């Protein structure tokens, strides 16, 4: 309708500037307009005796508008724009040739529908005005002689959109490139186009017109969108897997978990029909050291045909050996004794304790040699950093030198260890820790004021954040776990904390006279984590529960394992899959130490299919103690990696890890990523189109200013709208005059 009334399509108005093309001055237009208005007023003044004032005003407005419209048309309204010069410019067309384009949509695949758009008949208008530069892309872009079926490459294993567009723009910019047409479902296995890539794409000044292929809603499909797990776990602990399921309809999904071919567990998940994704947590027991080769699968639903996106694999390292915790306590209290008992038989934890018995003497337990901690708390980082976690009980900060206090801070921020501080008569705020450098590490701003250690029995309350925390679970059932916490005996004391820091999370609270206040809080700090347990009374759980009730032992064992779970080992190794390659990364915890100087690190990666890759890891610039190497796997499967550090010909230490390489990323995110395609178009001055709108793309491209352009003027004075409006105004005046009998 717009084009019928105003001669030109909406795109012309959006891309053009409005002008009056007659060349006559505007002051003359306004002067004539004022004269016409005066003439109309004078004529109507003579009729004042035969018509009422509102009738005269109505006729005056109609006559004035009619004369103004005539003057406006005489000044020749027009649109002026820059248009690509036909025959002088090129248009690049990028066809997505990744595996996701082979997904069937109705009667044909996405690729078949895209090739139909690119048939000679559908390209006739475009090729008549511009040189067509054909490209196909998956993880990179390649020039094609044409879009004939024989020239289209086999479906690629991955699509990397940003790099492919940049590659095309760089190659095609040697021509006078007027626009780029991207035909894709928007799948991008690199995660997303980075801001840097978007900025570079926009800097070419070439509008990108995107044509979205595939459905945005697929009600008959479930997708295991992501599975988040720690990279490593301790034997005897429980992992909590964060599973996200993508769906376009409600219902029930069943998730099954396997370790290799061994079935572990299953869980039903209710899918919210009002959401496009549902989050679930699945607990997995870690029985022994080694690797967990975990596979998560979704049972298919009725009508589901794309099953490749129903499964994801994750590998979790379960290191051998014990983690070391140093616990220093200022007084021989019950909490100290009962904690030692709880952790004594834990196969993953070695607890070393320092108990102050006189002003200058400590009682040591859990040491490996008579020399260990002989002088008390460590004074050198090389000694303290041998531990994975540090627990400080009821001790005044004055017991530590300023250098030792800085050492504790560095233990968390640089070493990546965990710090747990316990409540006590001389602990936390009462011990002056809030005034020390250690205070900045803690999740609460400790203060001497109101830091009282209150000897009062108060019940412990599990918070909502605590319910989701694996280390605070006595049962896999959330309801049963909450019930078991509510049944615990009251602790005998609590300590007031100051204001919590913004990053702090409260996991446990105590109910004091009907009001809850924080008891167990945590926050990340630097590379590590800090905790406050503001009581010394959890031992009463053991004393007041039946002999066979293990909740006190379970609490301390799970807490201790959580303290050390993410602590970096002296020689760390990881393997990650990115852009169809496996990157092996080794990291030394203390690269400045003498034993780590002049090291060479090599690795051997072997797959379950017999493939072997020998790697020499190189230092990473700007990252002290970090070494990396990458290789491209020859096949899918589980890859075990062993790295060895050597000084000369002598082996110093070795570590192992594993990862699974799969080329199934194109099977995920199968719904059209319209948001990404629209973002590309908007940032570059192009437009997003559906396949049904293909016929309008040629017209839109012509308004590009990227190539060789010419100025074009489009006159509007003879548009049907103005003549229809003129007839309408005159007819309205005539009808009113006839009704009022003044013709």
Domain boundary among 298, 319, 340: 319
One domain for residues 287 and 173: no
Which domain covers residue 625, as residue numbers?
571-665
Supply the CATH number for residue 384's domain.
3.40.50.880
How is residue 269 written in tokens? 């998940």
The percent of residues in the chain predicted with pLDDT above 90, rounded, is 37
Question: Which pLDDT band, with edges at 50, 70 and 90, does 65 fall under?
Answer: confident
Q: Indicate if 75 and 207 belong to the same structural domain.
A: no
How is residue 682 written in tokens? 């908007």
pLDDT tens per residue, range 396-429: 999 999 999 999 999 999 889 999 999 999 989 8
- How does DSSP assign 707-721, residue by residue? SSEEEEEEE-TT-HH
pLDDT at 725 > cutoff 90? no
Say if residue 405 is in the same domain as residue 530.
yes
Do 679 and 642 lie in a common domain? no
Residue 619: pLDDT above 80?
Answer: yes
556 and 575 fall within a common domain: no
Phi, psi of 442 (to 5 degrees): -80, 155
The candidate with the shortest Cα–Cα distance to 177, out of 84, 258, 284, is: 84
Please compute the mean of the pLDDT values over residues 143-164 and round it to a whole number.
Answer: 87
Q: Could you tell me if 432 and 297 lie in one domain?
A: no
- Of 302, 319, 336, the residue that ends a domain is 319
Separation in Å, CA 143 to CA 87, 88, 101, 119, 133: 21, 20, 18, 17, 8
CA distance 147 to 667: 24
Do 343 and 452 belong to one domain?
A: yes
Please give the tally of structural domains in the chain: 5
What is the pLDDT at residue 555? Answer: 93
**275 and 156 together in one domain:** no
Tell me, yes or no, whether 348 and 484 share the same domain: yes
Least confident of 73-82, 290-299, 644-653: 73-82
**Position 528 confidence tier, pLDDT thresholds 50, 70, 90:** very high
Banded pLDDT at 449 (limits 50, 70, 90): confident
Both 358 and 282 in one domain: the answer is no
pLDDT on residue 594: 65
576 C-beta neighbours (distance < 10 Å), count:
13
Residue 90 sits in a domain whose CATH number is 3.40.50.410
The mean pLDDT value of the chain amounts to: 87
Domain boundary residue, one of 547, 564, 581:
564
Q: Are residues 444 and 469 in the same domain?
A: yes
537 band by pLDDT with thresholds 50, 70 and 90: very high
* C-alpha distances out from residue 382 to 386, 415, 608, Å: 7, 10, 39
Distance of CA 691 to the CA centre of its chain: 30
Pick the more confident residue, 530 or 140.
530
Please compute the mean of the pLDDT values over residues 79-93 and round it to a whole number: 81
442 and 523 belong to one structural domain: yes
Three-state SS sequence of 524-579? EECCEEEEEECCCCCHHHHHHCCCCCCHHHHHHHHHHHHHHCCCCCCEEEEEEEEC
pLDDT score for 195: 85
Q: For the residues 360-388, what does the mean pLDDT come to?
A: 89
Residues 6+ apart with CB under 8 A from 169: 92, 177, 180, 201, 204, 206
Query: Which CATH number belongs to the domain containing residue 280 in this structure?
Result: 2.60.40.10
Query: What is the predicted pLDDT for the residue at 719?
Result: 81
Q: Label residue 131 exposed, middle or buried (CB < 10 Å: 0-12, 13-18, 19+).
A: middle
* 82 touches 709 (CB < 8 A): yes
The pairing of beta strand 688-689 with beta strand 208-212? parallel
Give the pLDDT band of residue 112 (cuts 50, 70, 90): very high
pLDDT in tens, 457-467: 999 999 999 98
pTM over 0.95: no
- Give the confidence band of 486 by pLDDT, cuts at 50, 70, 90: very high
How many helices (DSSP H) and strands (DSSP E) are in the chain? 18, 36
Range scoring the smallest mean pLDDT among 41-50, 246-255, 310-319: 41-50
Q: Which of 14-18, 432-436, 461-465 has the lowest mean pLDDT?
A: 14-18
**343 phi, psi to nearest 5 deg:** -100, -5
């Amino acid at each position: 309708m717009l084009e019928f009334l105003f001669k030109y399509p909406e795109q012309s108005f959006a891309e053009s500037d409005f002008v009056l093309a007659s060349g006559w001055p505007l002051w003359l237009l306004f002067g004539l307009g004022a004269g016409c208005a005066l003439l109309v007023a004078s004529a109507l003044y003579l009729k004042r005796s035969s018509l009422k004032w509102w009738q005269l005003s109505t006729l005056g407005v109609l006559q004035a508008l009619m004369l103004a419209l005539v003057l406006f048309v005489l000044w020749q309204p027009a649109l002026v724009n820059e248009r690509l010069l036909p025959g002088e410019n090129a248009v690049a067309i990028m066809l997505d040739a990744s595996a996701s384009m082979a997904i069937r949509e109705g009667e044909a695949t996405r690729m078949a529908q895209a090739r139909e758009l690119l048939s000679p008949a559908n390209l006739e208008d475009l090729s008549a005005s511009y040189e067509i530069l054909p490209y196909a892309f998956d993880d990179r872009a390649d020039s094609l002689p044409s879009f004939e079926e024989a020239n289209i490459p086999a479906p690629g294993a991955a699509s990397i959109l940003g790099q492919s567009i940049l590659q095309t723009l760089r190659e095609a910019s040697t021509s006078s490139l007027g626009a780029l047409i991207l035909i894709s479902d928007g799948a991008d296995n690199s995660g997303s186009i980075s801001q840097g890539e978007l900025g570079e794409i926009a800097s070419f000044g070439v509008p990108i017109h995107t044509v979205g292929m595939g459905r945005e809603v697929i009600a008959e499909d479930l997708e295991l969108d992501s599975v988040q797990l720690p990279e490593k776990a301790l034997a005897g602990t429980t992992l909590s897997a964060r599973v996200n399921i993508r769906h376009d309809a409600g219902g029930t999904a069943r998730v099954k978990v396997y370790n290799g071919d061994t079935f572990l567990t299953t869980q039903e998940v209710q899918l919210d029909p009002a959401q496009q994704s549902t989050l679930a947590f699945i607990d997995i027991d870690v029985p022994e050291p080694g690797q967990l080769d975990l596979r998560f699968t979704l049972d298919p639903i009725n009508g589901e045909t794309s099953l490749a996106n129903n499964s994801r694999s994750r590998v979790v390292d379960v290191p051998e050996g014990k983690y070391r915790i140093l616990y220093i306590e200022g007084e021989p209290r019950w909490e100290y004794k009962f904690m030692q008992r709880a952790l004594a038989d834990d196969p993953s934890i070695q607890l070393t304790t320092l108990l102050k018995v006189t002003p200058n003497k400590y009682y040591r337990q859990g040491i490996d040699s008579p020399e260990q901690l002989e002088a008390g708390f460590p004074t050198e980082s090389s000694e303290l950093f041998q531990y994975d976690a540090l627990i400080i009980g009821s001790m005044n900060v004055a017991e530590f030198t300023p250098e030792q206090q800085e050492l504790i801070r560095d233990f968390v921020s640089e070493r990546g260890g965990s710090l747990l501080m316990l409540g006590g008569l001389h602990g936390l705020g009462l011990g002056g820790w809030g005034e020390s450098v250690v205070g900045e590490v803690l999740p609460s701003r400790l203060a001497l004021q109101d830091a009282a250690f209150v000897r009062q029995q108060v019940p412990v309350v599990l918070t909502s954040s605590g319910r989701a925390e694996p280390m605070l679970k006595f049962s896999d059932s959330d309801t049963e776990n909450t019930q078991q916490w509510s049944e615990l005996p009251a602790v005998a004391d609590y300590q007031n904390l100051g204001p919590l820091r913004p990053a702090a999370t409260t996991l446990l609270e105590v109910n004091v006279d009907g009001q809850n206040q924080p008891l167990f809080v945590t926050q990340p700090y630097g590379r590590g984590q800090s905790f406050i347990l503001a009581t010394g009374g959890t031992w009463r759980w053991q004393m007041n529960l039946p002999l066979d009730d293990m909740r006190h032992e379970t609490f301390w064992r799970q807490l201790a394992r959580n303290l050390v779970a993410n602590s970096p080992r002296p020689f760390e190794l990881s393997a990650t899959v990115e852009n169809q390659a496996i990157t092996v990364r080794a990291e030394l915890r203390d690269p400045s130490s003498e034993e780590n100087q002049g090291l060479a690190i090599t690795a051997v990666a072997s797959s379950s299919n017999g493939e072997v890759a020998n790697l020499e890891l190189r230092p990473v610039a700007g990252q002290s103690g970090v070494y990396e190497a990458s290789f491209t796997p020859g096949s899918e499967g589980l890859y075990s990696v062993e790295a060895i550090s050597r000084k000369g010909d002598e082996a110093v230490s070795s570590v192992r890890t594993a990862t699974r390489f799969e080329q199934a990323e194109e099977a995920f995110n199968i719904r059209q990523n319209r948001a990404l395609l629209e973002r590309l178009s908007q940032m570059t001055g192009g437009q997003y189109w559906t396949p049904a709108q293909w016929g309008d793309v040629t017209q839109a491209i012509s308004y590009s200013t990227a190539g060789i352009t010419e100025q074009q003027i489009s006159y509007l004075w003879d548009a049907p709208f103005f003549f229809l409006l003129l007839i309408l105004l005159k007819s309205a005046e005539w009808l009113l005059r006839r009704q009022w009998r003044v013709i």
